[in-house]
């Protein structure tokens, strides 16, 4: 039996099939190959690719179609089992062998799963031993994962979303929506699975136990997708499809959606109600619906989080002061200051003694938010909203506001000292340059260099003339080098490093001012470096030309020397009484040359 172009179940390499058990030449994995495989090569390769891309449900459909049309075979049943448990084969960097990892844990052991047991019945003894060995290893990993998941505290809500857009390789806008939903629900007291927060200290290979625990314990899943393709992304679909299967077994579980267009939702969501992201209060409304649902579960005695329910009331009413303040803070973080002023005006009309409302409006006035206000260089006490915020504040809030006010005043003092130091350093730099004799000669030297270059080009390139001019050029370039070194030394040691030292001494955490102020200095430094490179490039070729000329003159000297020796040989023994002496003829020959 010989089957062409069937791919390996582990690495995807092409198998050279010669028997019912074929070892992959690329990864060493043993593949079972039945007669059925020979008839469905294209479908099996497609399913294999889907499984390697973690599209497990789509791969299962192909395997089920093949099984429904043929007598079951061990290889197809085993491949289907791998999909059920989300098995991905990952190469070991040391041995280059492929080892299984799990992306879809089940409570049921793979050793008891029906398709695995059916596959064992159809194996011969050698195949059975290989299958048992591999399933045992998968079961070991599964047991470890289940032990990790068992120690996780139960979750109330699972937020499902796409973190990164593959086309742009940037964070999706859905992250902002999910962050807002996460903040509302966690402040209410619910335990929420949000991958960005929950998994940030976990290795990617260890994600599955925590995802499994959250999917299993959560009563609600919120799926957020600003684009239709985000709902069908591999990991997103992997999560919501597993949750939908759990809903079939546990009716108390519920799934909620937020999208731009409900008509673009996957078919599995067609009968579900979706929240439109175009609504500016989309996350607040979605949070309200989730909190209501969880409250109803608790009332119906179907488990729930009683502690969270106590804090939920303030979020159930979007017109409550707490909800209005939350929207104002959201608009503040988005730098939508007009919306902030509108929110706060409405809020103060309801509760004119709300300290936090005045504080948020103060932050909008100085164009900062809660996170970066400590870097502001402004006197907050000059704003009447500060006085009102302090007047109506609790003791804890009052202490917080006054501490931030003191920090801002300290920032002003530091900035003044910084500006003074900057002025001093700038004056020192100007003085250093003005007192530098070499620097003052810079333009004159450049003119001399250009003049020397013209003289060199126009010279007869004699032995002495060419070398003499070339040497002068070398001296001028060296002199110019000393100017650049003096200026660069002044720039680096007297300016930039001093600025940074000042910031470090005064614990300035924001160095933006430093970088902006020293930009001109750095630009000047770079211009000197580039100019020096250009001048060196212009005049370096003179040295090369001089060497070429010197070699040419040396060659001519050798030729003359040989000619003289030849003439001496020819005139050897001639009577010295002739009219022209040998010496006269040698001199004439030399001059002729």
Q: Which long-range contacts (CB under 8 A, 24 or more apart) does 363-371 make?
A: 363/332, 364/332, 364/337, 364/340, 367/335, 367/337, 369/329, 369/332, 369/333, 370/329, 370/332
Helix, coil or strand: residue 353: coil
Q: Cβ of 184: how many Cβ atoms within 10 Å?
A: 22
DSSP 262-281: GGGS-GGGTTS-EEETTSTT
Query: Rounded to an integer, what distance in angstroms lies between the CA atom of residue 73 and that of residue 32?
Result: 10
Query: Rounded to an integer, what distance in angstroms lies between the CA atom of residue 375 and that of residue 373?
Result: 5
Cα of first residue to Cα of last residue in the chain, in angstroms, is: 91
Helix, coil or strand: residue 374: helix
Exposure of 511 in the CB half-sphere (CA atoms within 13 A): 13
Q: Each residue's pLDDT tens digit in the chain (593 positions)?
A: 444 578 888 888 888 887 888 888 888 888 888 888 878 888 888 998 888 888 888 899 999 998 888 888 888 899 999 999 888 888 766 666 778 888 888 888 999 999 999 999 988 888 889 899 999 999 998 888 888 888 888 899 999 999 988 888 888 989 989 998 998 888 878 889 998 888 887 765 578 888 888 998 899 999 999 888 888 888 888 888 889 888 888 888 999 988 887 777 777 776 566 788 888 888 888 888 888 888 887 766 655 555 554 555 444 455 577 778 888 888 888 888 888 888 888 888 888 888 999 999 999 999 998 888 888 888 999 999 999 999 998 988 999 999 999 989 988 887 787 777 766 666 665 665 566 655 566 677 777 777 777 777 666 455 556 667 777 777 777 777 776 666 655 554 445 555 566 666 665 544 444 444 455 556 656 666 676 677 666 666 665 555 555 565 566 666 666 665 665 555 554 444 445 444 444 444 444 44
Q: What would the 3-class secondary structure string for 121-175 be?
A: HCCCHHHHHHHHHHHHHHHHHHHHHHHHHHCCCCCCEEEECCCEECCCCEECCHH
- Tell me the pairing of strands 21-23 and 30-32: antiparallel
Structure tokens at 549: 């000329």
494 burial via Cβ count (<10 Å: 0-12, 13-18, 19+): middle
Structure tokens at 43: 């479908």
Among residues 172, 197, 164, 202, which one has the least CA distance to residue 182?
Answer: 197
Residues 338, 343, 347, CA angle at the centre, nearest 5°? 150
Query: Rounded to an integer, what distance in angstroms lies between the CA atom of residue 9 and that of residue 457?
Result: 74
CATH numbers and ranges of domains, the chain: 21-150 (no CATH), 157-318 (3.40.50.10140), 333-416 (no CATH), 436-544 (1.10.132)
Helix, coil or strand: residue 348: helix
pTM for the whole structure:
0.48
Q: Cβ of 211: how many Cβ atoms within 10 Å?
A: 24
List all residues 6 or more positions away from 37 whose beta carbon is below 8 Å from its beta carbon.
Answer: 3, 6, 44, 73, 75, 76
Among residues 446, 422, 434, which one has the least CA distance to residue 516?
Answer: 422
């Amino acid at each position: 039996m010989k089957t062409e172009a069937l791919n390996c179940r582990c690495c995807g390499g092409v198998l050279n099939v010669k028997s019912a058990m074929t070892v992959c030449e690329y990864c060493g994995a043993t593949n079972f190959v039945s007669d059925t495989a020979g008839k469905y090569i294209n479908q099996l390769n497609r399913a294999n690719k889907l499984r390697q891309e973690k599209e497990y449900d789509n791969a299962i459909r192909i395997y089920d179609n093949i099984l429904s049309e043929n007598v079951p075979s061990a290889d197809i049943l085993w491949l289907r089992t791998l999909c059920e448990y989300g098995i991905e084969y990952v190469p070991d960097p040391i041995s280059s062998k492929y080892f299984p990892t799990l992306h879809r844990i089940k409570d049921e052991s793979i050793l008891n799963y029906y398709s695995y047991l059916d596959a064992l019945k159809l194996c011969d003894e050698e195949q059975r031993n290989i299958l048992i060995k591999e399933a045992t290893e998968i079961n070991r990993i599964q047991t470890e994962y289940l032990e990790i998941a068992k120690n996780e505290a139960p979750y109330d809500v699972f937020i499902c979303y796409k973190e990164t857009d593959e086309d742009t390789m940037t964070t999706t806008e859905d992250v902002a929506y999910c962050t807002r939903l996460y903040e509302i629900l966690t402040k209410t007291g619910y335990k929420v699975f949000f991958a960005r927060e929950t998994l940030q200290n976990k290795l990617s290979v260890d994600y599955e136990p925590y995802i499994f625990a959250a999917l299993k314990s959560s009563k609600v899943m919120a799926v957020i997708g600003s684009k239709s393709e985000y709902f069908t992304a591999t990991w997103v679909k992997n999560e919501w499809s597993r949750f939908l299967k759990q809903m079939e077994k546990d009716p108390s579980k519920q799934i909620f959606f937020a999208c731009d267009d409900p008509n673009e939702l996957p078919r599995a969501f067609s009968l579900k109600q979706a929240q439109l992201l175009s609504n500016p209060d989309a996350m607040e409304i979605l949070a309200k619906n989730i909190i209501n649902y969880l409250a109803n579960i608790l009332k119906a005695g179907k488990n729930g989080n009683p502690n969270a329910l106590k804090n939920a009331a303030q979020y159930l009413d979007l017109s409550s002061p707490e909800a209005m303040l939350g929207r104002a803070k959201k608009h503040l973080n988005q730098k939508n200051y007009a919306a902030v002023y509108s929110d706060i005006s409405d809020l103060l009309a309801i509760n004119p003694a709300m300290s936090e409302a005045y504080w948020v409006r103060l932050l909008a006035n100085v164009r900062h938010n809660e996170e970066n206000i400590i870097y502001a260089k402004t006197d907050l006490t000059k704003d009447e909203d500060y006085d009102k915020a302090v007047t109506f504040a609790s003791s804890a809030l009052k202490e917080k506001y006054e501490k931030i006010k003191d920090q801002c005043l300290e920032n002003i003092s530091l900035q003044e000292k910084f500006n003074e130091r900057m002025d001093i350093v700038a004056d020192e730099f100007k003085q250093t340059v003005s007192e530098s004799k070499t620097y003052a000669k810079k333009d004159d030297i450049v003119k001399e260099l250009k003049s020397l270059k013209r003289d060199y080009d126009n010279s007869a390139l004699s032995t002495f003339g060419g070398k003499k001019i070339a040497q002068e050029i070398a001296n001028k370039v060296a002199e110019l080098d000393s100017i650049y070194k003096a200026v660069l030394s002044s720039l680096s040691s007297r300016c930039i490093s001093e600025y940074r030292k000042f910031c470090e001494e005064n614990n300035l955490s924001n160095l933006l001012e430093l970088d902006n102020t020293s930009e001109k200095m750095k630009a000047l430094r770079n211009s000197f470096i580039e100019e020096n490179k250009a001048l060196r490039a212009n005049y370096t070729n003179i040295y090369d030309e001089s060497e070429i000329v010197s070699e040419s003159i040396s060659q001519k000297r050798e030729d003359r020397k040989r000619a003289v020796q030849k003439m001496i040989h020819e005139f050897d023994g001639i009577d010295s009484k002739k009219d022209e002496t040998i010496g006269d003829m040698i001199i004439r020959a030399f001059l002729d040359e």
